[in-house]
Amino acid sequence: MAATLCWAAAKITFTKTTHDFGTIQEKNGDATVEFPFTNSGDSPLLIVRAQSSCGCTVPEFPKKPIRPGESGVIKVTYHAKGRPGPFQKSVYVYDNNNGKSMLVINGNVVSNTTPEDTYATEMGAGLRVKNRTLNFFDVYPNRNNRTRTLMFYNESNEPIQLTFRGVSKNVHLDKEPEIIQPKKEGRVLVTFLTKESKDWGMHTETFDVFVKGKESKAKNNRITLQADIWEDFSELSRKERDNAPEIEAESTTINFGKNEGKMVTKNVEVWNTGKTKLTIRKVQNDMPKVFKASISSTTIKPGDRAILTVSFHPEMTKLKTINHHITLISNDPSNSRVIINLQAD
């Protein structure tokens, strides 16, 4: 095995990380702010993803690498329509240096809206919902469960009762009240059962909502749940950390170069330079049709290695230039997520 090298690192530096919109008139529509940043490091900076605290807040970020000394902006838009009242939302920005930055927006939306405006999505049979996406953000399997709220409105002239299909073992639902009366609001408490989760990293699942006895009239009735599941190493002793596994990738960038439409496969060695068994929890890949990734072994003994194999399938995309990534999630307490950047033309 080659000696460990010191790699240059990117560093994202924001001009500001908070913004107060003040008073927003709902009739004026969306409110947008730009958060300027600079790559103050000494290697290219790639924004891997930007994740908001709810579907009402939409971040936009540069898709191309930012060279050292160059600048860019993260644009954050708050959808004010149907959301009167004060708000504070967060956007988490992840970069290729395993960095995580938080941007915060706040303000107060003023408007005289109807329930139909507030509960913008019609689900059929007189049922409306405020949001169809719930984000639980960072979740740890050994910590307390996380709960979010779905808000509904019965615009019909009859009482309705909600039923659900496709709810996983990770999720528990509580209806308040059991019956939603005409022209009244109701809510469903959605609890993510952290100990029941068998996944790691970015996790997405769905379930469907129906009005009992009127299932055939359902539309726009799928609810999406998102969570970022982390392993908690906070209780490890110094001795356990000293004897922990350590993951080391041969390279954190795979460049497939210019391609003429043919599949290309490349390998990266993944070493365990620690003192105990390294377990690869997950090879997270958000473009599995374009980039197919697998690892030769999910268990690596100290001093041993595994081979990460990534194949690029250009016929599965219309993009001319791709800057993507996969993430190796392991039980290394000091570096549990290693980002492998993928580049192709």
Distance, CA of 175 to CA of 186 (rounded, Å):
8
Indicate the pTM of the whole model.
0.68
Residues of the chain with pLDDT under 50: 1-5
Distance, CA of 187 to CA of 185 (rounded, Å):
7
Strand partners, 343: 255, 323
Nearest-CA neighbor of 155 among 176, 132, 183, 123? 183
Question: At 240, is the secondary structure helix, strand, or coil?
Answer: helix
328 — phi, psi (to 5°)?
-95, 120
Distance, CA of 200 to CA of 283 (rounded, Å):
9
Amino acid identity, residue 335? N
Q: What is the pLDDT of residue 7?
A: 59
Nearest-CA neighbor of 94 among 343, 344, 341? 341
Q: What is the pLDDT of residue 142?
A: 86
Distance, CA of 170 to CA of 159 (rounded, Å):
29
* Residues contacting residue 201 through CB under 8 Å, at least 6 positions apart: 228, 229, 281, 282, 284, 327, 329, 337
Q: What is the pLDDT of residue 81?
A: 84
Contact 204, 222 (CB under 8 A): no
Q: Which H or E run contains 238?
A: helix 238-242
Distance, CA of 158 to CA of 307 (rounded, Å):
61
Q: What is the pLDDT of residue 5?
A: 47
Nearest-CA neighbor of 139 among 227, 49, 235? 227
Q: Helix count (H) and strand count (E) of the chain? A: 2, 27
Please give the sequence-ordered ranges of beta strands (E in DSSP) within 125-184, or none if there are none: 127-129, 133-139, 146-154, 160-165, 171-176, 179-180
Amino acid identity, residue 120? A
Q: What is the pLDDT of residue 258?
A: 84
Question: At 242, is the secondary structure helix, strand, or coil?
Answer: helix
